[in-house]
Structure 1
């Protein structure tokens, strides 16, 4: 089982130049992603005078997040692995592909990147609200939790298949494209129900800046459960003990 390969890491790892560069890369990638994704939602609200979400608005949000995540993953891939998501980092940890020490530093960088992106958006738009994730009126907490689990499972499964699996070969730019596409598709599927976060940092930044914490736990628990399931299934079944090779930090 992949969980047997979990690594804690050492304090020295946290001080290494390689680790510090990777943490900075995660911060920058998350800032790029949230600024574009959250900014697209704020632009829609401005153009519609905070009107109701429309199919066109949902498609626009899907495309903005897909394109932004493709870029954010691609620019960080050779430095940090391009996680750009605490759930992806957690899934990598469960599979033994990142140590606990480095994973915690990634989480801090990702959360800070999201908060800074939202603060910059608020500043540059003259104080416009940064909308926090919320459930639609006809969606229960249980339904939203299932949405987040399933959507994040699909995301992290895609990450394992295109970026982590040692048998993936030379996929090059395919991994960032596939990761961006699955997020965009999931937003089309779940955006009208719970906002389709799949990323605790993406929901955390707007919540901090707008100080809106309703159901915030859903956007943490759901993605982390989905990520863990994806890691256990893909690593345990398709990679397996015999074929697993620890990934260099430069690769993931």
Structure 2
């Protein structure tokens, strides 16, 4: 059972050079991802005089996030596993593929990366607002919770299938682009309803900088539930439980 492989980790793990390097890689990758993703929305908003909530704006956001995540995962994959998302880290923890302490280190790095990215965006754009995620008219918090849960389940399930599964073979080489594609597709599916975050860090950075916390819990609860379920389902039904513990610094 996956739960039997869950581990807290050793206290000295937080100060080991490899763990600190992995955290730095997560910080940089998350910063670059959020800067490109959030920045693309701000740029489209400026060019169209607040017309980001249009079909063209949705497509632009999906493409920008897909490309940015592809790069962010690729550049960190050999160092930290390229999680770039607290929900992915949580899914890896629930599946027994990362310790709790290393996971917390990743979370801190990811959240800081997102906040710094939004601060940089606010500075470099001359004070433009980094808009926090919000629900569209007619969308309830429970609608959004289900959206975030299902979309993040798809994301983390894709991570497991292409990057974690020891039987992935050459499929692992396309893991970053597959992960980017599922995020882009999910933005097209859910972006008009709740913004399609799938990533607590992506929601946290703009919320901190704009100090807007309306329904913010949805963008944590949905992704963490979806990510955790994906980790459990894939580990329980599709990964041979006799395989060796997966490394967290070369793969997910």
Normalising by structure 1, we get a TM-score of 0.98
Partner of residue 246, structure 1? 245
Following TM superposition, the consecutive aligned residue runs of length 4 or more in structure 1 with deviations greater than 4 angstroms are: none
Q: SS where residue 43 of structure 2 aligns?
A: helix
2: CA distance between counterparts of 1:38 and 1:216?
A: 17
Q: SS where residue 214 of structure 1 aligns?
A: coil
2: CA distance between counterparts of 1:91 and 1:229?
A: 7
2: CA distance between counterparts of 1:4 and 1:128?
A: 48
Question: When the two structures are aligned, how many residues end up with a matched partner?
Answer: 251
Q: Is contact 1:2-1:240 (8 Å) kept? A: no
Q: SS where residue 38 of structure 2 aligns?
A: helix
Post-superposition offset of 1:52: 5.5
Residues 52 and 24 of structure 1: is their aligned pair in 2 closer, same or farther, counting only changes over 3 Å? closer
Partner of residue 16, structure 1? 16
1: CA distance between counterparts of 2:36 and 2:52?
A: 20
Matches within 5 A, 1:73-152: 73-152=73-152
Partner of residue 167, structure 2? 167
Post-superposition offset of 1:245: 2.1
1: CA distance between counterparts of 2:40 and 2:30?
A: 15
Post-superposition offset of 1:51: 2.9
Say what the alpha-carbon RMSD is for the aligned residues.
0.9
Normalising by structure 2, we get a TM-score of 0.98
Q: Is contact 1:130-1:209 (8 Å) kept? A: yes
Q: Deviations over 1:108-158 (max 9, x none)?
A: 000000000000000000000001100001111111000000000000000
Q: Is contact 2:132-2:203 (8 Å) kept? A: yes
Structure 2 residues without counterparts, runs of 5 or longer: none
1: CA distance between counterparts of 2:21 and 2:57?
A: 36
2: CA distance between counterparts of 1:206 and 1:131?
A: 6
Q: Is contact 1:166-1:245 (8 Å) kept? A: no
Post-superposition offset of 1:14: 1.1
Q: Is contact 2:114-2:201 (8 Å) kept? A: yes
Q: SS where residue 149 of structure 2 aligns?
A: helix
2: CA distance between counterparts of 1:228 and 1:240?
A: 18
Q: Deviations over 1:59-85 (max 9, x none)?
A: 000000000000000000000000000
Q: Deviations over 1:30-60 (max 9, x none)?
A: 0010000000110111112213511111000
Deviates more, 1:166-175 or 1:177-186: 166-175
Residues 245 and 139 of structure 1: is their aligned pair in 2 closer, same or farther, counting only changes over 3 Å? same
Structure 1 residues without counterparts, runs of 5 or longer: none
Q: Is contact 1:200-1:219 (8 Å) kept? A: yes
1: CA distance between counterparts of 2:134 and 2:32?
A: 22
